[in-house]
Structure 1
């Protein structure tokens, strides 16, 4: 009887000690993710990769007719690589509703940027699709 009680007490103590020593899981950030996550002692630091501030010409995508009809809204993130002349060399859809995919990629490919100092620039562009009442 005494041994059972001790096992029970020490069992809970082991569980509590194990819980105290666990670190939060660190997510694996996908290559195309627009945010880099760094973890230090369980604290997440975020580095934003948005490069809209470097643009000299921004093209906004049209609102797709079907998205308007079905009242679909959302934010789309597009990953872009800018060449040495400031043109978008590559655009990849990262996240958002798929109904906005083609118009967002087409608009992102038309953006112009200041020529990057190190001959290339990579980052994200966000497009917001909101209906007006």
Structure 2
């Protein structure tokens, strides 16, 4: 039995929507020019924020040791619902090694697929 044309179109549309959502969640964050980012970890979009359709940008201040490891993270602006996810993601980032401890401001964007 062959699937109906409508079912094929609906399946393709669902796959396209899922891909668009994954792409939107993987929007790269930006760090200030103090230290270059070596490895980014995308944030996990909080389920509550998804259901409430909360989007926006969270600015996080990260303390980076000379080896490039993030040692401390603090959200300094943005949604309180999205802040923990941004902080958790930035804690896993790695920066290019530098001569000293750095304080880097990072912007993490949360957008939903249209």
| TM-score, with structure 1 as normaliser | 0.59
Q: What is the RMSD computed on CA atoms of the aligned residues?
A: 1.7
> What's the counterpart of residue 25 of structure 2?
none
Q: Secondary structure at the match of 1:107?
A: helix
User: Structure 1 stretches of 5 or more lacking a match?
Assistant: 1-48
- Structure with larger Rg: 1
Give the total of aligned pairs: 84
Greater RCO between the two (CA within 8 Å, min separation 6)?
A: 2
| TM-score, with structure 2 as normaliser | 0.68
1:66 pairs, out of 36, 40, 48, with 48
Checking the alignment, whether the CA contact within 8 Å between 2:35 and 2:96 is kept in structure 1 is no
Q: Could you tell me how far 1:52 is from its partner in structure 2?
A: 8.2
Checking the alignment, whether the CA contact within 8 Å between 2:64 and 2:102 is kept in structure 1 is yes
Paired residues for 1:30-69 under 5 Å: 50-51=32-33, 54-69=36-51
Paired residues for 1:98-117 under 5 Å: 98-117=80-99
